[in-house]
Amino acid sequence: MKPGMTETTSESATPLISVAISSAWDPDDEAAASAIPPNWLPNITFCEKCLSAGIALLRSSAQQADAVRSGEAEHQPCSTDDYAVSIRFADTAESQQLNTTYRGRAKPTNVLSFPVVDEAEQWLPAVASTEPLGDENALGLGRLMLLGDLVLCPSIIENEASEQKKSLEDHWAHLLIHGLLHLLGFDHIDEDDAEEMESLEIEALRSLGIPNPYLLD
């Protein structure tokens, strides 16, 4: 961890989503071990807490909408650990290669999302169910629904945080939630979609005690 930086996670909180992380700076990889590592990389606990904030917000919205439709005041509590995301910390070369291949943009980027489901509507109704979701998956995380993969580039994220005068941890949290929403079918191509996505990001970050990232200089 970078000197003076503290984790903004709680070990006691039960995550709503499970995470598996791989990194271009794997200490068991000789080539990676010789590379200059990022100033800081989030651990599994940090990632799970950030992504869980996004899941909790959408889950609550889905339950409220369902309650309005059904006229019920309360619902059975949702089961936890229903979802899984695979996270990759990539160097700039890997990020650029993926961004070029899948988005036609020949440059590295802060976060790339590779969803398993196509649209948010395919999972939102399911989150109010207490039934187990999914089958045994390749992550070895049990009966979970794999939402997809996130590829984040630490050097881009660090540069952005510095240029925008944001806390590095807060910026990581924002991009994790941003990437999660893309996995679930949200986008910001047109103005209305962008406004919806940004409002969800702001609310999820607020639940973590993180200020609105769109108001910072």
Question: Per residue in 147-176, pLDDT tens?
Answer: 999 999 999 999 999 999 999 999 999 999
The predicted structure's pLDDT at residue 37: 86
Q: What is the mean pLDDT of residues 173-182?
A: 97
Residue 174's alpha-carbon distances to 50, 58, 140, 168, in angstroms, are: 8, 16, 27, 10
Evaluate if residue 132 carries a pLDDT over 50.
Answer: no
Evaluate if residue 27 carries a pLDDT over 90.
Answer: no
Distance of CA 10 to the CA centre of its chain: 17
What pTM was estimated for this model as a whole?
0.79
Please report which residue ranges of 104-190 form alpha helices under DSSP H: 154-163, 168-183
* Residues paired with residue 84 on neighbouring β-strands, in sequence order: 18, 146
Q: Which two tokens stand for residue 44?
A: 């599994």
Q: Which CATH class is domain 17-207?
A: alpha beta
pLDDT, mean over the chain: 79
**Alpha carbons 85 and 69: distance in angstroms, whole number:** 30
* Range of lowest pLDDT (33-37, 155-159, 181-185): 33-37
Please choose, from the candidates 159, 166, 169, 167, the residue with its C-alpha nearest in 3D space to the C-alpha of residue 1.
169
User: How does pLDDT run across 80-104, given as a tens digit for each residue?
Assistant: 447 899 999 999 999 999 999 999 9
The predicted structure's pLDDT at residue 82: 76
For the chain, which residues make up each domain, given as ranges? 17-207
Q: How confident is the model at residue 134 (pLDDT cuts 50, 70, 90)?
A: very low
